[in-house]
Structure 1
Amino acid sequence: MSPELIFLLTLVLRMAITAAFVVTASVITERSGPVIGALVATLPISAGPSYVFLALDHDAAFIAEGALASLPINAATILLGLTYVILAQRRSVLVSAGAAVAVWIALASLIRSVHWTLAGGLIVNAIAFAICVPLLQRYRHVKMPIVARRWYDIPLRACLVATLVATVVTLSGWVGPKISGIIALFPAVFTSMMLILHPRIGGPPTAAVLANSAWGLMGLGVAIAVLHVAALRFGSVIGLSLALATCVSWNLALWWNERRKLARC
């Protein structure tokens, strides 16, 4: 079998595995409401597989440097969420999602031009979340309507994420760890939710999912920092494992805290 065919088959397999993860998570989101949906959406179901596949092709230093580039991108994602949440209250999906993605691309371009350190990435995350979390608070509590799935929903979600994985894996050898880290954190899950849920259930309920995602994105930022440090010290496998454990533990703690609040009401 030729190397080109092996690469193509491997790429298709990677795309299929990642798409399956994201589709499953988004279906859970639709059925569980904005709070649980946000916790599922902020798990590394898109970035995680991308980094796993990068680790199969590159060494630990590459993964650590990519994570360092991903850290400030996490701050751009919460600003994407804030942009969409505010616009989605009255604007169409094209205006709301288009403006949100444009904000993310503009911030990613700016982030790319800066030489980041771990401390700098953590500081920009702290600033972004300090601004966005209070502003998002008022949009969190919206009842999720019953969702009637359309025939193209699952293929669209799968294609969005599969395209992201294909882009990251294919370009990583040419663009290097910094651009790979930026592309890996493109908010494919959030974007698919905007495009699919907004036309069906309206802007405010869809925005509620993203508004509830702020605390989960904090955990994702911590997990990315853990990946950077652990990959350098212990290698990619341990680094990725610790990052996943951090993210899952953080979201479980958020879920438990939410249950305690509901029990007191």
Structure 2
Amino acid sequence: MTMLASIFSQIPLEALAVRMVATAVVVIAVSWAVGVFGPLVGGALAGLPVILGPGFYFLAAQASEAFVAQAASYALLSLCATQFFLLAYIVVAGRASPWIALGFAMATWLLAAFSFQLFPARPLIGVILFIAATGVCFRLGAKFATHQAPLKRKAGIALFAMRGMFAGVLVALITTAAGWLGAVGAGLLLAFPIGYALVALTVHQKYGAASVTALLHSAILGTVSLAGFCSALALTASYLPSSVALGIAMTTSVLVTFGLVSGVQFRRP
């Protein structure tokens, strides 16, 4: 508790509140869209950088361009581990409770993240590893996912608000403690799949295993949007003003998500 108080004391309360609320609003909006549009489209939309975007925005406001670029490279490696997080949850969702499935998925992420962070934090290496991880996890996950199960249309706004505020607290903590964590820790933790974890837990509890496996299998492809964000930021942050680099990264992510959603809609009967 003393350490947390020390971290939060490093920035004004007004700035801390802005970080939390800004992140929470975006997470709530995307969470609502996931419930409305169903698991396939929802999984693609869940890959929008709702936590990475605000996280790197606040990080860029207090860190050097080189630090941000390196953190983005490590975030890309962290996203490789996220694919195995999603696969692990998909595999055990049909035979375990939501909390047990979440614990297993998080343990898998920790092991995978430790392994991937041993690789050089370079954008090209990260992209190659991410493509390999995505191909393996999507193919294996297809054996356990049930894409015919739709999500219900209604979900409690209170759950969305709680999920968003929790994500906002995480972003505020990591970006504030970035100087202590270093680029490695900040990058890995900013890409920690807290959004996926909360979405998976909520959907599993409310709609069952079939819906959550469909959602998370689609999210494996949705994570490509996050990888696009991190790759673009890692390549441009050292050479362009932070606002421009973040704009390019966000545009890249949105275009990837648009392509994924359009592809899902096109494949629907």
Q: Same fold (TM over 0.5)?
A: yes
Match of residue 68, structure 1, among 61, 65, 73: 73
- Contact preservation (8 Å) 2:26, 2:164: no
Aligned residues: 261
- Give the stretch that moved more between structures: 140-149 or 157-166: 140-149
Closer, same or farther in 2 for the Cα pair 1:86/1:12, shift >3 Å? same
CA distance in 1, matches of 2:141, 2:156: 29
CA shift, 1:238, in A, is: 1.5
Match of residue 31, structure 1, among 27, 33, 36: 36
Match of residue 163, structure 1, among 169, 186, 195: 169
Closer, same or farther in 2 for the Cα pair 1:182/1:123, shift >3 Å? same
- Give the stretch that moved more between structures: 3-12 or 102-111: 3-12
Counterpart in 2 of 1:250?
256
Counterpart in 2 of 1:137?
142
Structure 2: unaligned runs, 5 residues or longer: 1-7
- Contact preservation (8 Å) 2:39, 2:215: yes
After superposition, the C-alpha distances for 1:223-248 in whole angstroms (9 at most, x for unaligned) are: 31111111122232221111111111
CA shift, 1:120, in A, is: 2.0
Letter of the 1:195 partner, please give it: L
CA distance in 1, matches of 2:157, 2:26: 19
CA shift, 1:152, in A, is: 4.5
CA distance in 2, matches of 1:125, 1:151: 34
- Contact preservation (8 Å) 2:77, 2:117: no
Quick check: 1:221 aligned with 2:227? yes
- Contact preservation (8 Å) 1:59, 1:236: no
Structure 1 stretches of 4+ moved >6 Å: none
Match of residue 78, structure 1, among 78, 83, 93: 83
Quick check: 1:201 aligned with 2:207? yes
What SS is found at the alignment partner of 1:212?
helix
CA distance in 1, matches of 2:116, 2:257: 27
1:38-57 matched pairs, under 5 angstroms: 38-57=43-62
What SS is found at the alignment partner of 2:231?
helix
1:72-151 matched pairs, under 5 angstroms: 72-138=77-143, 139=145, 141-146=147-152, 149-150=155-156
Aligned-pair identity in percent equals: 26
- Give the stretch that moved more between structures: 125-134 or 108-117: 108-117
Counterpart in 2 of 1:259?
265
Q: What's the TM-score, normalizing by structure 1?
A: 0.91
CA distance in 2, matches of 1:256, 1:141: 17
CA distance in 1, matches of 2:65, 2:157: 41
After superposition, the C-alpha distances for 1:147-172 in whole angstroms (9 at most, x for unaligned) are: 55347413430232022112212211
Closer, same or farther in 2 for the Cα pair 1:10/1:190, shift >3 Å? same
CA distance in 2, matches of 1:148, 1:118: 40
Structure 1: unaligned runs, 5 residues or longer: none
